[in-house]
A and B are shown apart, each in its own frame.
Chain A
Amino acid sequence: DVKVTQSSRYLVKRTGEKVFLECVQDMDHENMFWYRQDPGLGLRLIYFSYDVKMKEKGDIPEGYSVSREKKERFSLILESASTNQTSMYLCASRPTGRGYSNQPQHFGDGTRLSIL
């Protein structure tokens, strides 16, 4: 079974802080994703990575950066947290080269981040 683990379930930070959200997957997947989930807006892609040290912007990358130094770990960084970044953050992974029906994205259980 694929396991995507997000390091924190709940996190409270202050405006202006640098915030790190960590995600680890145990299935050697090439692709990893960061989404934010807000009511009425669904899941919006922030960044994704298709290989170590490779990254691509998603739909809402402003205010965020990412780091992928090892294949199993994908970090989301809020450079200077703001209150409008209060949200649920979801990490996902999937392998390359297989049909989506056989290997869909597997999600972690999310980190609920509050910026005060």
Chain B
Amino acid sequence: QQQVKQSPQSLIVQKGGISIINCAYENTAFDYFPWYQQFPGKGPALLIAIRPDVSEKKEGRFTISFNKSAKQFSLHIMDSQPGDSATYFCAALIQGAQKLVFGQGTRLTINP
């Protein structure tokens, strides 16, 4: 019930393409869904986040799509660039709690 399942584990996309990473959850008490981006040798950093009362959130080239009925959410990176090559983690949080539940991570490589 506390799990967040993320796929794919690794992804290779050509420069300029769209990168899509998917996550699914079971616990309907989750009400905050952040995505973290991690570059090699660095800790994860918050990239973008969404609450379940909206179906989409866009920040620049990064978009979260949220499907509450399916209990799924995804990260879309438009016009993917080599500088986007990183590991991406989805996560989920219960309101008022401190503990994030993380997905398994996706290693994204953007080929020039």
B20 at the interface (CB under 8 A from A): no
Can you list 25 A-B contacts (CB < 8 A)? A4-B43, A33-B98, A37-B105, A40-B9, A40-B104, A40-B105, A42-B6, A42-B103, A42-B104, A43-B89, A43-B102, A43-B105, A44-B102, A45-B100, A90-B43, A90-B44, A94-B98, A96-B98, A101-B49, A104-B34, A105-B46, A106-B45, A107-B43, A109-B42, A110-B43
The number of residues on chain B lying at the interface, defined by a beta carbon within 8 Å of a beta carbon of chain A, is 21
Using an 8 Å CB-CB cutoff, how does the interface string of B32-75 with A read, 1 for contact, 0 for none?
10100000011111100100000000000000000000000000
CB < 8 Å A-B pair total: 56
* Interface-centre pick from B6, B34, B45, B46 (highest chain A CB count, 10 A): B46
How many chain-A residues does the 8 Å CB contact rule pick out?
A: 29
